[in-house]
Amino acid sequence: MKGKLLIGHLTLVVSIFFVQCHAQESYRHKAEDVKFESEGVILDGRLWLPQKEGPHPAIVCAHGSGRAPKSAGRFAAGHFTKLGIAYLCYDKRGVGGSGGVYVQRYNASEQNLKLLAKDVSAGVAYLRSRDDIDGDQIGLWGASQAGWIIPIVAATAENIMFTILISGPTVTVGEENTYSHITGDGSTAVTLSQAEISRRLKEKGPYGFDPYPYLKEQTMPGLWLLGEKDESIPIPETLAILDRLIKEDNREFQYKLYPGASHSLRANGRMPADYWDVQTEFLLKTVGVKVK
């Protein structure tokens, strides 16, 4: 957001943790370069598949705000393919081998967010065209700005099974912009109290794209992993929206808040020890993803 925490940055953080914890393990998966069409352009992707026979459940990666390449998905793919779940990541529109234009200055405009959501939906449609993918078990995974993109897909695409969001906002784009301006997106020390920050957010009010109407329409389970000291999205306001959706709208949403963790989910320089375990439990127990 604001270009600070790009999906590549978050993936790098995750990858460091992943490599540290699993350096001795061999990743039993195969990778296939694929292409699919979205809104008149060809997107260049990579699909990681478990070694065993399909059809497999699958996950499509939705990118954050940066120039994300398909190679950014390899670390998450290492975890999910061990569970028997295929993982699709692609060069973002206008990046690498993908056609189209990468929008930088106004990448959180409603028009651009909806276009990027169509790219994710195209990835889902591509997976459903394959015999080795179980079209009834496809979910979405993303970080940061994907918190605005994934709800659009989940509310409008057919038969999405689940969503997982890492540091994904539920507030409007305008509220995130206001908060990032107050915090400097983590570039400066924040001296204001949380009460004063919340007061200023309320005074400025919501504006820009609002994911809430889409989240209300989301019928499948969703998981959010959030950092208490996030410098890019306002956590109390984000949690208040999730609590409202859970309690008032009966949405099958859950979240885990990591004390002291930043937008990258790091606390004291480290990723959460249960980062993958929380997601695994959500997929296999809460959602009931079935793997062979």
Is residue 36 a part of any domain in this protein?
A: yes
CATH number for the domain that contains residue 85: 3.40.50.1820
Domain range for 18: 7-170+212-227+256-285
Is residue 206 a part of any domain in this protein?
A: no
Is residue 183 a part of any domain in this protein?
A: no
> What is the spatial distance between Cα 15 and Cα 274, in angstroms, rounded to a whole number?
14
Q: How confident is the model at residue 166 (pLDDT cuts 50, 70, 90)?
A: very high
pLDDT of 121 higher than 80: yes
Is residue 120 a part of any domain in this protein?
A: yes
- Could you give the count of Cα atoms lying within 13 Å of 144 in the half-sphere of its Cβ? 27
User: Cis omega (within 30 of 0) on the bond before 272?
Assistant: no
User: Tens of pLDDT along 239-271?
Assistant: 999 999 999 999 999 999 999 999 999 999 999
- pTM of the predicted protein model: 0.90
User: Tens of pLDDT along 4-25?
Assistant: 433 333 433 333 333 333 333 3
For residue 190, CA distances in Å to 172, 173, 194, 283 come to: 21, 21, 10, 36
User: Tens of pLDDT along 73-85?
Assistant: 999 999 999 999 9
Which two tokens mark 103? Answer: 């929008």
Counted residue by residue, the chain has a size of 292
Q: By the 8 A CB rule, do 8 and 68 touch?
A: yes
pLDDT of 105 higher than 60: yes
Is residue 132 a part of any domain in this protein?
A: yes
Mean pLDDT of 173-198: 90
Mean pLDDT of the chain: 90
- Which pLDDT does position 1 carry in this prediction? 62
Distance in Å from the first CA to the final CA of the chain = 38
Is residue 121 a part of any domain in this protein?
A: yes
> What is the spatial distance between Cα 272 and Cα 14, in angstroms, rounded to a whole number?
10
- Produce one character per residue of 33-67: b if its CB has 16 or more CB atoms within 10 Å, e if not: ebebebeeeebbbbbbbbeeebebbbbbbbbbbbb
Task: Please give the tally of structural domains in the chain.
Answer: 1
> What is the spatial distance between Cα 193 and Cα 128, in angstroms, rounded to a whole number?
48
- Which pLDDT does position 27 carry in this prediction? 53
